[in-house]
Amino acid sequence: MDFLPLPIATMLAGAFLTLLGFVLLLNIFGLPGNWALLGLTVLWKLAHPAATQMDVWFWAMMAGFALTGEALEFGLQVIKARKYGSSSSGTFAGMIGAIAGAILLAPLFFGLGALIGALIGAWTGCFFTEWLIRGRPVGESLTAAFGAMMGRFLGTVCKCGIGGCMLALTAGRIWPGRQPPSPPGLDAVDGATRVMLDIWASLCC
């Protein structure tokens, strides 16, 4: 955007970042918001081939963030469910229930029903598997189901947080007048790595 006047370039960058902010909210609805954000950023790069700040380090970090978000979304559900005593089958049923619940309730509450459905589905799938199929006591089944539900919630929150990191990283590269990092991307890698490790440690314990 070097050929555009600064006010126009700033408006275009601001509009694009606002769009990415709305796309990020897709994570709440159970949709792949982080991947959509990455895809739109690729389109921005194709439309602005002179954006040299979007180098190999940038794309490696963006892809790594997106993969980390997926791992946290599902990994935390498994970790929390097992921590609260869920069996492997109960944990798996909770994951399937979360997906089914998100799909069924997505049309409600302007899309927010997807998050509610995912939480209810995770709880229901785990509880009835532990109680009816595995024959465990109601108290143990309730505890395991609570772990599955909390894991799903924390996974969604972390995925949104990872998306926020992707949005901030993109903003730093496309905002007019920004200078390329030196060395490229290393500071962002170190900072993002520390943040992700801190989140993982605090939630898994």
Instruction: Tell me if 64 sits within 8 A of 51, measured CB to CB.
Output: no
What integer pLDDT is reported at residue 129 of this predicted model?
Answer: 95
Each domain of the chain, given as residue ranges in start order, spans 31-46+64-173+181-204
What integer pLDDT is reported at residue 195 of this predicted model?
Answer: 54
User: Could you tell me the maximum CA-CA distance found in the chain, to the nearest angstrom?
Assistant: 69
* pTM recorded for the entire structure: 0.76
What integer pLDDT is reported at residue 42 of this predicted model?
Answer: 94
Task: Give, in degrees to the nearest 5, the angle at Cα 71 between 69 and 76.
Answer: 100
Q: How many Cβ atoms are within 10 Å of 30's Cβ, its own excluded?
A: 23
Instruction: Tell me if 199 sits within 8 A of 24, measured CB to CB.
Output: no
What integer pLDDT is reported at residue 115 of this predicted model?
Answer: 87
Task: Give, in degrees to the nearest 5, the angle at Cα 37 between 43 and 60.
Answer: 80
| CA 169 – CA 40 distance, rounded (Å) | 14
Instruction: Tell me if 83 sits within 8 A of 146, measured CB to CB.
Output: no
What integer pLDDT is reported at residue 27 of this predicted model?
Answer: 86
What integer pLDDT is reported at residue 132 of this predicted model?
Answer: 92
According to DSSP, residue 175 is labeled S
Low-confidence stretches of the chain (pLDDT beneath 50): 179-180, 182-186, 188-189
Q: Could you give the C-alpha distances from 39 to 61, 121, 123, 154, 185, in angstroms and in order?
A: 14, 29, 32, 25, 20
| CA 151 – CA 75 distance, rounded (Å) | 8
